[in-house]
Amino acid sequence: MASKTPPGKVELLQGTLDMLILRTLLFGPAHGHQIAKHIQRTTSDVLQIEHGSLYPALHRLERKGWLSAKWESAGKDLKREFKYYRLTPAGRKQLAAEESKWKQLAAAIASVMWPAEET
């Protein structure tokens, strides 16, 4: 567990992976690899998704009913099959709730870290 984080990369905060997955799926259904790549790319490789936590998280979210999953063919000539995850209405609601919680948290942290000098 004590793997070193490569320089320039940030480990995910506990509990944020779920939110990121949900947010990623807001654009439409995606499979595990796509989700991981998307998060990595949009954060300019700052957030490395550990696959060790991605799949358990996906399965956990599916179990909670926030995601639904379906096997679909994709790739060139539809040769490969992928398990596509899709946001459910409950998942959308959960995303909204987590987002507002995160915003509060971020604001709270920011107000401690950078006290309101500007005002």
- The residue ranges that bind another protein (CB under 8 A) are 31-34, 37, 50-53, 55-56, 59-60, 63, 75, 80-83
- Shortest reach from residue 64's CB to another protein, in Å: 11
CA–CA dist 108, 16 (Å, integer): 16
- Shortest reach from residue 108's CB to another protein, in Å: 30
Closer to another protein by CB, 64 or 103: give it.
Answer: 64
Closer to another protein by CB, 57 or 95: give it.
Answer: 57
Taking the alpha carbons at both ends of the chain, their separation in whole angstroms is: 43
Measured between alpha carbons, how far is residue 11 from residues 2, 25, 108, 111 in Å? 12, 21, 20, 22
